[in-house]
Every structure is written in structure tokens, then in C-alpha cells.
């Protein structure tokens, strides 16, 4: 019976209660064996280089014979930048159910690395690896909440996850960085404009700027007299994009098209401490990471407490948060392959 809503598509009630023992056949061996479906299930207009790159990253696990595979991965929105390759949900569901080894989704892994709140398919018995999971459509202990890759992620196909990548040189004490709090981005969520109005104050060490542009989201927010002055500061060279976060103690991680955005990775890459503003988001790799040790977690209703909460963090705790954040970044988020490896090993 189709009862439970997943994003915008209903799916079988049994799938809502999936666990590895209930919805997956056991795997053997010392590493996952993965069968990658051919991309012939995609329309010509939807084919991108993303799945080709994905195949290169999966070489370590890939088998050509589906009979030898433990996990099956179809080419579903694997790295679809800007959510541009999403067919309608019912179309995607039809394609998935038509796969020769689908079996209700058992032992299948669906990657949905986008920043939208809604998923384009009903996962059935398949494990879903998403970068924007909300608590009501996340199956704890079964699905995997991943991070949204950023443009700064290392895309080098020669990356070897067994080697320690070079770390950013963090010689300057984090508490002595020029900016106390920083954010700069497009106005893809009204909360970004709200926080810019509340907190942007360079003389107090806070740079929170948005580019309103033609954003439909922020155009719904009534204009205030000081907005134009805020928008004009966006292009101020003093707040240069490349230098802002590396000179900030804390970096705001605000919702974008969905509750999760690539800002999380960018803040951690810069060696700043994330200040994650969210409501229903399941934080990435939540089974592996204690986010309270890495970031300042703020619910929507608590945003006015941000300045005082940051002031209350002493230098010892700040250094520890930075170190744990860097450990997490270079272990799990440093490049797209590290994200995939972590997700697959969690599934397996």
C-alpha cells in the first residue's frame, strides 16, 4: 500500500521502516562491490559528464558483472549542478522500476546531491544518499545524509583517499582573525537578507552580505530603507570573496535553495568554525560526526542569540572546534570522491 510521503512522491509503507537487515541482502568481502548501470536510462539531453566522472571514482569498487555486485547504482542526479538534470518524479520512478535488477530497490543506492528540499524519486527499498535530507524523510540507520559538494572541492581524478591530503596552513590563531563572523552569497533564501540586516557591522567584525540580484525569494521580502546600502557593499573589495572566510573566525552556513548549502564545505575548508542555521536538516554524516563539537548549531527561532553565543566561546574551545572541523573536512569532505567513499562505506 502506498501511504508514506517522501518529498513529493508517495512510496510503500514498508519502505518507510527500512533497515539494513530488512531491506538489503547482506554483502560479503572486505569492500563494497558496485555495479554501475549504463547511462542509457538517461535521455540524450540529460546526459552530462558527471556520471562519467563518477565511474572513474568508483573504479575501486566497480564490477562489470551484476551477479558479482553487492550494491547497484543507477545514474540518478549524481552530480547534477544547479539541479538541471532532474526529470519529473513520475518519469524517474518509471525509469527506476524498469531497471533489470531493481527488485523493489533492494541493494540499490540512489545519489541525490542537490540543494533542493524535495527528492525527484520515491526510493522504495533503495538507500538514498542525499545532501539535503530533512528529518521527516530521513530513515535513520538506513539512508545517508551527505554534504553538498562545492566548487572548491578537489575534482582531481587521481586523488588517492589512502593518502593524507595537504592541509591548509593555519598558522594564525583563529581568534585573532580579522573578522569575527562572515558570510557573502546570493539571496537564495529570505533568511540571508534578514541576517544581513541584523548582523552586518564591519566595525564590530561582522561581514554578512547578500547579492539580491533578481532573486525571486528575496524579492518577496519587503524592502527597507537601508537595503540598498547593504547591497552596494557586496562589491566592496575589502570584502573579497576569496579572502573573507580565511580571515574569519566564524562562518555563517545559511539555507540556500534548501536548508543545506555548499557554504558548509566552504567554511570548513577555510578553517573557520561553522555557524549552522537550520531547522529540519539532518546534518551530514550524522552517524560519524558530533556536530556540537565542530559547529555552533542555531535554530531559526534562535538567530538573535548568535552574537552572544559566539562571544561565550573561549579560546580553548575555539581551537578545539577548529581542529575537529579540519579533521572532519579532510577525512570526509575534502573532495567529491571522499564524500562518495564515506557514503558507500556507511551503506555497506
**pLDDT at residue 293 is higher than 80:** yes
What is the tens place of the pLDDT at every residue in 144-197?
999 887 764 554 444 454 555 666 677 678 999 999 999 999 888 889 999 999
Distance CA 296, CA 254 (A): 12
**Which band of pLDDT confidence, cut at 50, 70 and 90, is reported for residue 46?**
low
Distance CA 334, CA 4 (A): 35
175-178's contacts with Cβ under 8 Å and 24+ in sequence apart are 175/249, 175/315, 175/318, 177/247, 177/248, 177/249, 177/272, 178/205, 178/247, 178/248
Distance CA 104, CA 33 (A): 19
Q: Which residue has the higher pLDDT, 335 or 211?
A: 211
What is the tens place of the pLDDT at every residue in 305-337?
999 999 999 999 999 999 999 999 988 988 777
Q: What is the pTM of this model?
A: 0.86
Amino acid at each position: 500500500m502506498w501511504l508514506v510521503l517522501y518529498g513529493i512522491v508517495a512510496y510503500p509503507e514498508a519502505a518507510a521502516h527500512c533497515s539494513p537487515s530488512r531491506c538489503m541482502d547482506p554483502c560479503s568481502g572486505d569492500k563494497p562491490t558496485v555495479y554501475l548501470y549504463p547511462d542509457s536510462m538517461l535521455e540524450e539531453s540529460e546526459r552530462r559528464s558527471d556520471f562519467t566522472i563518477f565511474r572513474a571514482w568508483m573504479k575501486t569498487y566497480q564490477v562489470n558483472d551484476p551477479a558479482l555486485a553487492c550494491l547497484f547504482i543507477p545514474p540518478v542526479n549524481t552530480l547534477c549542478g544547479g539541479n538541471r538534470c532532474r526529470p519529473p518524479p513520475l518519469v524517474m520512478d518509471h525509469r527506476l522500476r524498469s531497471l533489470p535488477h531493481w527488485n523493489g530497490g533492494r541493494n540499490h543506492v540512489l545519489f541525490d546531491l542537490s540543494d533542493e528540499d524535495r527528492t525527484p524519486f520515491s526510493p522504495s527499498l533503495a538507500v538514498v544518499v542525499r545532501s539535503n535530507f530533512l528529518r521527516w524523510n530521513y530513515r535513520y540507520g538506513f539512508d545517508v545524509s551527505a554534504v553538498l559538494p562545492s566548487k572548491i572541492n578537489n575534482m582531481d581524478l587521481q586523488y588517492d583517499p589512502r593518502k593524507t591530503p595537504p592541509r591548509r596552513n593555519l598558522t594564525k590563531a583563529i581568534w585573532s582573525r580579522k573578522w569575527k563572523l562572515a558570510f557573502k552569497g546570493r539571496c537564495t533564501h529570505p533568511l540571508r537578507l534578514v541576517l544581513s540586516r541584523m548582523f552586518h557591522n564591519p566595525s564590530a567584525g561582522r561581514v554578512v552580505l547578500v547579492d539580491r540580484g533578481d532573486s525571486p525569494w528575496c524579492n518577496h521580502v519587503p524592502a527597507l530603507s537601508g537595503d540598498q546600502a547593504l547591497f552596494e557593499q557586496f562589491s566592496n573589495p575589502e570584502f573579497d570573496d576569496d579572502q573573507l572566510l580565511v580571515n574569519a573566525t566564524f562562518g555563517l552556513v545559511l539555507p540556500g535553495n534548501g536548508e543545506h548549502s555548499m557554504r558548509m564545505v566552504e567554511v570548513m575548508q577555510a578553517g573557520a568554525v561553522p555557524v549552522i542555521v537550520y531547522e529540519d536538516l539532518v546534518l551530514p554524516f550524522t552517524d560519524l560526526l558530533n556536530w556540537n563539537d565542530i559547529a555552533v548549531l542555531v535554530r531559526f527561532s534562535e538567530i538573535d542569540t548568535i552574537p552572544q553565543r559566539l562571544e561565550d566561546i573561549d579560546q580553548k574551545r575555539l581551537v578545539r572546534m577548529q581542529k575537529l572541523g579540519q579533521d572532519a573536512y579532510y577525512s570526509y569532505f575534502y573532495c567529491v570522491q571522499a564524500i562518495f567513499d564515506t557514503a558507500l562505506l556507511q551503506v555497506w
